[in-house]
A = this chain, B = another copy of it.
Amino acid sequence: MTGRDRTLNFSKRPTIKEVAQAAGVSTQTVSRVINDRPDVAGETREKINRVIEELGYQPSALARSLIQQRSYTLGVVTAGLKHMGPSRTLNGITFQSEKMGYSLLLKELPRFDTENIKPLLQNLLSHHVDGILWAVPQVGDNRSWLNDELPDLPIPIVFLTMENHPGLTIISFDNFLAGRMATEHLLQQGYRRIGHIAGPLDWWESRQRKAGWKSALNAAGIEALESHCTEGNWSSSSGEAAFKQLLNQYPDMDAVFVGNDQMAMSVIQIACKNNIDIPRDLGVIGVDGLSESAYLSTPLTTIVLDQYLLGCTAVEEIVHAVERSREHSGHENQRTIILSPELLVRESSLRLRTLEPASP
C-alpha cells in the first residue's frame, strides 16, 4: 500500500530452510554452522555464513527450545515492583541473567501474600522455563503452597528472602543480624532506652529484625518490652503514625531502630518539627541504604542491604541448579545463602563523636 512495501520481504524473518536453499546445502549443514560444529568444510561454512549475513538470519529460539527441551529462559516471579527493594533486586536479576545468557519471563504477583500460585506456576511451565526465581518476600502464609505444589515441580527453583526450609535453595539477607547490628550500634553510642518501629509483622523480615533488636538489648541486660515497639507498613506515612504512637508508649526513649529507611525518614522529619534534636535527644537508625537518606535534615545512619547483589546471586544459583539438574539428574544439592548487612554510619546515630562518620 505504501512505499514501504518493497521492504516487506525483509520484514519476514527467514527460516533455516531458506538459508539452506540460498546456500545450496541442506538445513543440516546450516544447523551445524550456526551451532559452531567442527565438521563442516571451511568453504561451505564461509558460504553459509555469508548467506546468513545477507538474509539477516537468526535461528528461532522457540523451535530450538522445543526440540532441545531447554529454553535458556528463567521465570521470575516478583511482587511490589513499585517498591525500591523488589525493583533493585530485579535490576540485579536482569543484568546477571543477560550476562549468563538467559532470558527472563517476568510475572508480578498482585499482592505480596498471594496464595494461589498454581496457575502462575503452570503458566511458567507451559513456556518451558528452565528454572524459576521466586523473588517474593515471605509474607503471611504465602509459602503454604510449598507442601502441595513443590513436589511436582519438574525444574529447579530458587527462593529469595524467606526463612530456612530444608530441601530448598534460599538466598536471604541476615535480617536478624541487621537488627542486632543496628541496636548494638546504638548501644555503643551510649543510648540505652532504644525503641523499635517494626515493618509489618506478617513479614518474615520484619520479625527477624525485631528479634535482632530484642536479642541485642537482652545481651546488654536491657529488657525489650512489647510496648517499646510499634508497627508500620514500610511507607513514610505509616512511619509517622508509628513514631507518634511510640513516643506515647515510650516517652523516655532515647533512640529508635526503624525497620526501613522510608519510615525512618518520617521519624527524622517529625522529630525535627517537634524540636527533638537528633542525635542528641534521639538516635535514629534505619535499614536499606536508600541514597536519599543521606540528604535528610539529619543524614540517616542505616543498615545497608545490597538488593542488587541479592538478585545477581539468585541468578547465579538458579543457573547452576539448572545446569546441575541437566547433567546428573537427581543430584539436587540445595543450599542456603545468607548475605550480610553493612552498617553505614551517618549523623542520626552519632552521639559520641569518637567514631568518624563513614562515607556519605
Contact = CB atoms under 8 A, between A and B. Distances in A.
Interface of A: 1-2, 4, 7, 10-13, 56, 58-63, 65-66, 71, 73, 76, 81-82, 84, 87-88, 90-91, 94-95, 98, 103-108, 110, 122-123, 125-128, 151-154, 235-237, 239-240, 262, 265-266, 269, 272-273, 291-292, 294-297, 308, 330, 360
**This protein's copies in its complex:** 2
A265 B299 CA distance: 12
Contacts of A295: 236-237, 239-240, 265-266, 269
A294 B104 contact: no
A224 to B, nearest CB: 27
Contacts of A294: 236-237
A288 to B, nearest CB: 12
Top 8 closest pairs, chain A to chain B, by CB:
A87-B87, A94-B108, A11-B154, A81-B91, A61-B126, A236-B295, A106-B106, A82-B91
A272 B294 CA distance: 15
Contact of A62 (B71, B94, B152): B71
A103 B103 contact: no
A314 B67 CA distance: 34
A330 B135 CA distance: 41
Contacts of A63: 66
A240 to B, nearest CB: 7
Nearest to A262: B292
Contacts of A10: 151-152
Contacts of A56: 152
A152 B7 contact: yes
